[in-house]
Structure 1
Amino acid sequence: MGEEAVLVIPARWASSRFPGKPLALVAGKPLLQWVWEAAVGCRRVREVVVATDDHRILEAARGFGARVEMTRSDHRSGTDRMAEVAGRLPADRYVNLQGDEPAIDPGEIDRLIAEMGSAPIATFRRKLTPEEAENPNVTKVVCDRRGYALYFSRAAIPFVRSGGRGAPRWAHVGIYAFQAEALRRFVGFPPGELEQAERLEQLRALENGMPVITVPTAMRSFGVDVPEDIGRIERLLQKN
């Protein structure tokens, strides 16, 4: 299998739009359990860990068999929470999988790990649909010819001027793999100006000269943001 990878699922109770979201029931099981069950299907991952600062999530996750690491409550992001876990669990690579993404394909995460090569950070891109182009909730990415990200944005990029030649348009799927040293460096940087303007954490890497390879995928991201999303996710899981 080569280098060892640990997959971390950050899960927090506090959410302005959906408090207690990780334990919300989806087709009779906690949302977090759906994510964990998919993640343990990854063949290139040595261990799957739930990282939380809440004892309710701790008890529930242990109840369905997950390994849980308690973390500080003052982390700004899931990446910071993952970095704390990485300090206790040495590995070559770490994968950050959000705890509200129950429809992920473990085979695609294996492919992300395999195809990141020596890149410090790897993530996914998929084809952007026309109706998504102007949607600020869909993050876009433009890449160089090798697939390395040039920029991430909520805006419709690249802009095609009248008479200009069309270019491939990509949406970003927010699952990340980090080399261990890259993770340590990343969380040591302060939030950058572009990151704060766009509210996109991945721009911190580009602002500090850290290359981010993007791997093409057909997998879509179906996160749960508000309680009303539960029915949509249940229908999706039933279909799959």
Structure 2
Amino acid sequence: MKVIAMIPARYEASRFPGKLMKDLAGKSVILRTYEATKQTNLFDEVYVVTDSDIIFNEITSNGGKAIKSIKEHESGSDRIAEAVENLEVDIVVNVQGDEPFTQAEPLFNLLEVFKSDTAKEIAIASLMIKMEVEAEINNPNNVKVVTDTQNFAMYFSRCPIPYPREKSMAVYYKHIGIYAFRKDALLKFTKLPMYHLEATEKLENLRFIANGLKVKMVETNKLAIGIDTPEDLEKANAIFNKTGNL
């Protein structure tokens, strides 16, 4: 089974323009993410897929592998699908370009879903982590997910779900935006229409739900720190300054 990692990387970002090229402990955020993904030693190949000459040159000039998108894309998964269409690969892992703290253990557990799925019934898998701090639960930048008893996603939202009518019963999970696809499922995804749910919440994972694609969620206790705002970047640099590594 050939497994590759694809890191979609847009230069523009509405909340934090140019964030992937910002300095994180002496290297750009995107280069840190690429190196962290490589260092997991879980993938046959790791690529950055980008619409930006700046990011493309940043990766290739540092010895990495990058692919330049030909078309304009609405989502990272669409961008990756274009890149893998003619590649011989079984599993494609979409690693977010703004998560330089990517670690091996949650990715290993994600890939185990497919290794144990001998009937090939699972097409997509992703990660989630329990949240308990109210401010984090209410933050719309933290995407929440609810699952069924088999840990298949029922819905994703920027709103706190479930509604805590009985607070003592409420359990919240944050969706960590790392996906693993069987190649055929990824190519199918890109041909599906964007329904109002995805357009409303700006969450591509709602395209899976709207079209009946089952998403297996894997719980982890490893929190990846994404770089969504300048404050996140400050926190990431503070962690490096304190620990000496990412």
Question: Is TM > 0.5 for Structure 1 vs Structure 2?
Answer: yes
Aligned partners of 2:71 and 2:13: how far apart in 1?
13
Letter in 2 for 1:63: S
Cα RMSD, aligned residues only = 1.8
1:4 deviates by 1.2
Letter in 1 for 2:162: P
1:39 deviates by 0.5
Letter in 1 for 2:205: Q
Q: Residue 123 of structure 1: which of 109, 122, 126 is its match?
A: 126
1:224 deviates by 1.4
1:31 deviates by 1.0
Aligned partners of 1:73 and 1:224: how far apart in 2?
25
1:67 deviates by 0.8
**Corresponding residue for 1:103?**
101
2:159 corresponds to 1:161: no
Task: Please state whether the residue corresponding to 2:138 is helix, strand or coil.
Answer: coil
Report if the CA contact (8 A) 2:85-2:187 is conserved: no
1:73 deviates by 4.8
| Deviation digits for residues 17-56 of structure 1 (CA, Å, limit 9, x no counterpart) | 4333222211111111110111112333110001112222
Q: Residue 142 of structure 1: which of 134, 140, 146 is its match?
A: 146
Unaligned stretches of 5+ residues in structure 1 = none
| Deviation digits for residues 159-216 of structure 1 (CA, Å, limit 9, x no counterpart) | 2324x87143211111100111110111111111211222211011011010000001
Letter in 2 for 1:188: K
Aligned partners of 2:22 and 2:3: how far apart in 1?
28
Q: Residue 93 of structure 1: which of 91, 94, 99 is its match?
A: 91
Q: Residues 127 and 63 (structure 1 numbering): CA distance in 2 closer, same or farther, change over 3 Å?
A: same
Q: Residues 167 and 46 (structure 1 numbering): CA distance in 2 closer, same or farther, change over 3 Å?
A: same
Aligned partners of 1:124 and 1:23: how far apart in 2?
25
Q: How does 1:18-57 map to 2 (within 5 A)?
A: 18-57=16-55
Letter in 1 for 2:23: L
Q: Residues 139 and 18 (structure 1 numbering): CA distance in 2 closer, same or farther, change over 3 Å?
A: closer
2:199 corresponds to 1:200: no
Q: Residue 182 of structure 1: which of 182, 185, 200 is its match?
A: 185
Letter in 1 for 2:161: I
Q: Residue 227 of structure 2: which of 202, 205, 224 is its match?
A: 224
Aligned partners of 1:56 and 1:94: how far apart in 2?
24
Task: Please state whether the residue corresponding to 1:194 is helix, strand or coil.
Answer: helix
Q: Residues 133 and 15 (structure 1 numbering): CA distance in 2 closer, same or farther, change over 3 Å?
A: closer
Aligned partners of 2:238 and 2:103: how far apart in 1?
17
Report if the CA contact (8 A) 1:104-1:219 is conserved: no
1:96 deviates by 0.7
Aligned partners of 2:22 and 2:37: how far apart in 1?
18
TM-score normalized with structure 1 length: 0.91
| Deviation digits for residues 109-133 of structure 1 (CA, Å, limit 9, x no counterpart) | 1221112433111001111113122
